[in-house]
Chain A
Amino acid sequence: MNTHPHLIVCEHCDCVYRRPRLTRRQRAHCTVCGLPLACRAPLHEERALALNIASVIAFLLVITCPVIQVDIWGRHTDATLWQAAMALTQGVGAPIAVPVAAILLVPLGLSLLQCWVLGFASTNKTAPAFATAMRLIAWLRPWSMIEVCLLSVLIAMIKLSGYLEVHAGAGLWALAALTLLNGYLGTQDLRTLWEPPT
């Protein structure tokens, strides 16, 4: 089968272009549908690796530290995001807890996989099982919902603050940090790792 590495096809409208060479601040857009083309300047591997390691650490804090603490009549409880998923297992609606728990773990899986491919890429090697890791990354990415977690924690706090005394836990700050890290990492297109080094 012939390949045409000098070409790029718009994912949205199927238009074919010559693959442009871009610098870090440039983006190429399709002239027909106006959406961005899937080509970027080569990644800053070390920086992306460092931020992925940071997001693994932030994630571990999010999942182990309570995000919300409440006090009522001298009694104190707190909850982590993981406990929130487990709370859904009560009653008839229990099956929903399984996908919710899986969705909570997606950012960890993503960051670990990205650390794996970027770690090798930063030493100019190809990671073992590179293709499988990249496929998993592409498959998991749409299910990462860190921003939604952050907003839902804030809404739960407001919802409860009418009846109880509510405090932010350490997990909430870690969650805010993770949201920022994920926001930046979401703009990095790992698909450039497929391109042979020039």
Chain B
Amino acid sequence: MSPPRAQRLGVAACHLCTLVSDAPSNAHARCPRCGARLHSRKPASRSRTFALLCAAILFYLPANLLPVMRTSQFGHAVDSTILSGVMAFWQAGEWDIALVIFIASIVIPCAKFLALGWLMWTTRRKHTLGRKQRTLLYRAVEFIGYWSMLDVLVVGLVCALVRFDLLGRIEPQPGIAFFGAVVMLTMLSASHFDPRLIWDDPEHD
């Protein structure tokens, strides 16, 4: 016997202070204890998640195609993209560092696109299979989301350190701005998704 669901009981919990109150009758209802907006589902969850996800996927192309860093030495400049940075480590024999950067900058963003896309698709279709696993997947997306910021900070640090003017210089390139935007957009997209939609069942509610 599973416990009753808040929506059926006509109650809703405050997302800020967790106090349970009667379900709000309009969009302007506020939690009586902390004054935060009270809603039984995140407002416009599906469309906001989808919009932010689309924006992230669009930005992902220039993030990978444009160079992220320019290394100039004795007047000779070389541009590198995210993938070529990974390849450079790999070819230098440092496969472990290559793997960390590859996972943080390529695997995690792509996995987030796929996971959020799949969660959106299955909740839209009201799939009932694997709800527990999908809820866990959502938690994982929230949890790993910010690790992709790694590359942005590495580029910033390297550029701040290597400024020897004539001898050598490393400068950031536009690709890194797109990449940072991708990470922040996917984080926002995940935060707008409401995992309770996974469990909503039109036939029983």
Contact surface of A with B, Cβ cutoff 8 Å = 1-5, 7-9, 11-17, 31-35, 38-39, 67-68, 70, 72-73, 75, 77-79, 81, 83-88, 90-97, 99-100, 103, 131, 134-135, 138, 142-143, 145, 148-149, 151-153, 155-156, 158-160, 162-164, 191, 194
Contacts and interface: CB of A to CB of B under 8 A. Distances in A.
Interface string B1-39: 011111101011101111111100000010011111000
Interface string B164-200: 1001100111111110110010010001000110111
B160 to A, nearest CB: 4
Query: Which 10 residue pairs of A and B lie closest in terms of their CB atoms, listed nearest first?
Result: A93-B177, A84-B156, A152-B153, A9-B13, A87-B160, A96-B177, A79-B160, A87-B159, A156-B157, A194-B17
Nearest to A130: B34
B163 interface: yes
B89 to A, nearest CB: 8
Contacts of A83: 160
B4 A100 contact: no
Given A77-B161, A88-B159, A148 B4 contact: no
A7 B11 contact: yes
Nearest to B198: A13
Given A96-B176, A155-B101, A88 B155 contact: yes
Nearest to B10: A2
Contacts of A94: 177
B171 A15 contact: no
Considering residues A86, A152, A158, which has the most beta carbons from chain B within 10 angstroms of its beta carbon?
A152
B17 A134 contact: yes
Interface residues of B, number: 77
Interface of B: 2-7, 9, 11-13, 15-22, 29, 32-36, 40, 89, 92, 94, 97, 100-101, 131-132, 135-136, 138-139, 142, 145-147, 149-164, 167-168, 171-178, 180-181, 184, 187, 191, 195-196, 198-200
A31 B1 CA distance: 10
A85 B175 CA distance: 16
A84 B146 contact: no
Considering residues B16, B19, B21, B153, which has the most beta carbons from chain A within 10 angstroms of its beta carbon?
B153
Contact of B154 (A17, A93, A96, A159): A159
Q: Is chain A's binding surface mostly helix, strand, loop or mixed?
A: mixed
A93 B176 contact: yes
A156 B136 contact: no
B20 A155 contact: no
B191 A142 contact: yes
Contacts of A159: 89, 97, 154, 158
B159 A158 contact: no
Contact of A148 (B12, B153, B191): B153
A151 B177 contact: no
A145 B149 contact: yes
A77 B184 contact: no
A181 B40 CA distance: 34
B154 A155 contact: yes
Contact of B173 (A15, A38, A91, A143): A91
A4 B19 CA distance: 7
A164 B153 CA distance: 19
A135 B16 contact: yes
A22 B147 CA distance: 33
Nearest to B163: A77
Contacts of B36: 131, 135
